[in-house]
């Protein structure tokens, strides 16, 4: 009996010790949990671009929601990865700039691990910091190519677009129903000239404007692209064609006008007459005042 009493007492004493330890550590656990909950939930976006020279880029955007607006996150270290069947391939670690953007350039000769269906998985990760929680983003991109050429007949000019992907033995497989946008570069913007879908042969034909001013030789820079597609990302191709109207950019003497440094002659003469009339009236008023004073003195 005494043996059982001793065992029971030892069990109770150990239980009391565990309870005390739990009570002592619980505030620390609650504090750590509350600190974790206070961390900001960051939002990450990951986009893919393929350029006309074959180079690519991955762009990460980092921000968080504050009340009714979003705040960009600068100086956040982002890891860029390729996800393959054999594991991950780390490409680089890049910090976000003041706009919350981290940009990774991929050279045209870098061999990306496209699978048999021309897909590749890209990933970006942020491991978190004292202010924000960890977050990541993945995108699955299909590798496609854009090509286009120019044709014309006696009346119209055309741009012929082809959207394809690589097939077996170097064959080109058409991409159906891809939304294609076409632009002509202007000085401060892009002029839209195409917005249509590719047909079952991956092709699209659109009329080209005949009245666009170009450079001194009539050259125009034409861009054809697929923009922010969920499957292809952003893909573009750029070419130059001399279908513009040549513009003479040499300096010439500007005729006198309202918007130039020298006003028109008629305006200068008009202003001069008005000023002369005003001064004559002013002189006449002074003369008459002096005559009035002279009459008052003689009286």
Mean per-residue pLDDT pooled into runs of 10, the chain (299 residues): 52 56 58 61 95 96 91 95 93 96 96 93 94 94 96 92 88 94 94 96 95 92 96 96 88 75 85 92 86 67
Please report the beta strands in 42-132, taking only residues with DSSP state E, as ranges in sequence order. 43-50, 56-66, 69-72, 77-84, 87-95, 101-106, 119-126
Residues 6+ apart with CB under 8 A from 219: 240, 241, 242, 244
**The pTM of the whole model exceeds 0.75:** no
pLDDT at 288: 82
pLDDT at 291: 76
Strand order in the sheet with 119-126: 87-95, 77-84, 119-126, 135-142
pLDDT at 58: 97
CATH topology of domain 145-241: Immunoglobulin-like (2.60.40)
CATH classification (class only), 43-142: mainly beta
CATH 2.60.40.730 residue spans of the chain = 145-241
pLDDT at 26: 61
Phi and psi, residue 274, nearest 5°: -60, -45
Can you read off the two tokens belonging to residue 116? 């048999």
């Amino acid at each position: 009996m005494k043996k059982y009493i001793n065992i029971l007492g030892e069990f109770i004493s150990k239980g009391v010790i565990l309870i005390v330890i739990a009570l002592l550590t619980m505030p620390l656990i609650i504090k750590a949990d509350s600190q974790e909950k206070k961390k900001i939930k960051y939002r990450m976006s990951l986009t893919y671009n393929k350029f006309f020279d074959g180079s690519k880029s991955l762009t990460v955007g980092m921000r968080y929601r504050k009340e009714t607006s979003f705040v960009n996150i600068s100086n956040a270290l982002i890891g860029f990865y390729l996800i393959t069947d054999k594991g991950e391939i780390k490409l680089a670690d890049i910090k976000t700039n003041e706009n919350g953007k981290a940009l990774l350039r991929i050279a045209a000769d870098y061999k990306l691990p496209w699978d048999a269906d021309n897909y590749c998985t890209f990933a970006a990760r942020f491991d978190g910091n004292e202010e924000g929680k960890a977050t990541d983003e993945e995108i699955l991109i299909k590798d496609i190519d854009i090509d286009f050429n120019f044709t014309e007949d006696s009346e119209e000019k055309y741009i012929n677009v082809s959207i394809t992907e690589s097939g077996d033995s170097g064959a080109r497989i058409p991409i159906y129903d891809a939304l294609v946008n076409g632009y002509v570069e202007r000085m401060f913007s892009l002029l839209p000239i195409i917005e249509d879908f590719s047909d079952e042969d991956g092709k699209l034909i659109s009329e080209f404007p005949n009245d666009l001013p170009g450079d001194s030789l009539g050259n125009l820079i034409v861009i054809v692209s697929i923009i922010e597609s969920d499957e292809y990302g952003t893909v573009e191709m750029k070419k130059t064609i001399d279908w513009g109207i040549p513009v003479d950019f040499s300096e010439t003497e500007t005729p006198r006008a309202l918007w130039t440094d020298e006003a028109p002659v008629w305006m200068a003469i008009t202003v001069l007459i008005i000023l002369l009339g005003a001064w004559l009236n002013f002189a006449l008023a002074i003369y008459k005042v002096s005559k009035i004073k002279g009459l008052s003195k003689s009286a």
